[in-house]
Amino acid sequence: MSDQRVWTAALLVIGDEILSGRTEDKNIAQVARWLNSQGIRLQEVRVVPDVEAAIVAAINALRPAFDYVITTGGIGPTHDDITVDSIAAAFGVPVITDPGARAILEDYYRERGVPVTEARLRMARVPEGAELIPNPTSGAPGVKMGNVYILAGVPNIAAAMLRGLEGKLQGGRPMTSVTVSAHAAESEVAALLKQVQDEHPGVSVGSYPFYRDRGFGADFVVRSEDGPLAQRCADELRSRLQQAGVELVDNR
């Protein structure tokens, strides 16, 4: 494997609606893809309710363990949006109204002819010492506190905030993934997969079963920070599978 530093991240998904099943989380995949594009590995995901003690405990466990912690959810205008208060508690600082955030919100609603209410101004509250993350979609900015990045839970708003962070987080090389699909039981090719992986240091090969219209099989995902190496390994894996009489699937 490469001796280059690996930058890591955890994602904390906050919300009773996720845990109850009422809302299906769509942020995990998009945050993982975005982090990889920045050369950062998402290594842990936690889901916690809208309970301050649970949020504080999770933040204080994650922030020393990873280079970055991203949170989604709980930064809206209602009483149950307690992420900012909870993260302030985790850092031991008060919550303040950020003048820059307030100005952004006032301009945003004024341009749309919408009254600026106290509820809407709740979204200008930040932990003392925090920085703002631009939000071109709904005006209300995200928040950076130390190595914690506080994003909205609505997926398109979270995506806009991530775009505002492009190039601002230090990372390494993105991980390249190449998929080889085959109509084969994992147990039939397990030894072959390990052999190919062992012959290509710096590569990992994962196996993920599928059940589709044309039958069962598995997707074998070759990953590496070295794109050409990942492709060579995948090509070798295809060749070995074919030599073993395994039917490949065209996944283009």
Q: Give the per-residue pLDDT at 1.
A: 43
CATH superfamily of 7-164: MoaB/Mog-like domain (3.40.980.10)
Q: Give CA–CA dist 75/140, Å, rounded.
A: 9
Chunked into runs of 10 residues, the chain (252 residues) has average pLDDT values of 79 96 95 95 97 98 98 93 97 97 94 91 96 88 96 95 92 91 92 96 93 84 92 96 91 56
CA end-to-end distance (rounded Å), the chain:
28
- Asked, colleague to colleague, whether 7-164 and 176-249 share their fold, the answer is no
Q: Give CA–CA dist 70/36, Å, rounded.
A: 14
Q: Give the per-residue pLDDT at 251.
A: 60
Q: Give CA–CA dist 118/116, Å, rounded.
A: 7
Q: Give the per-residue pLDDT at 138.
A: 81
Domains in the chain: boundaries: 7-164, 176-249
Q: Decide yes or no: CATH 3.30.70.600 for domain 176-249.
A: yes
Q: Give CA–CA dist 38/60, Å, rounded.
A: 24
Q: Which of 46, 65, 41 is nearest to 204 (CA)?
A: 41
Please provide the size of the chain in residues.
252
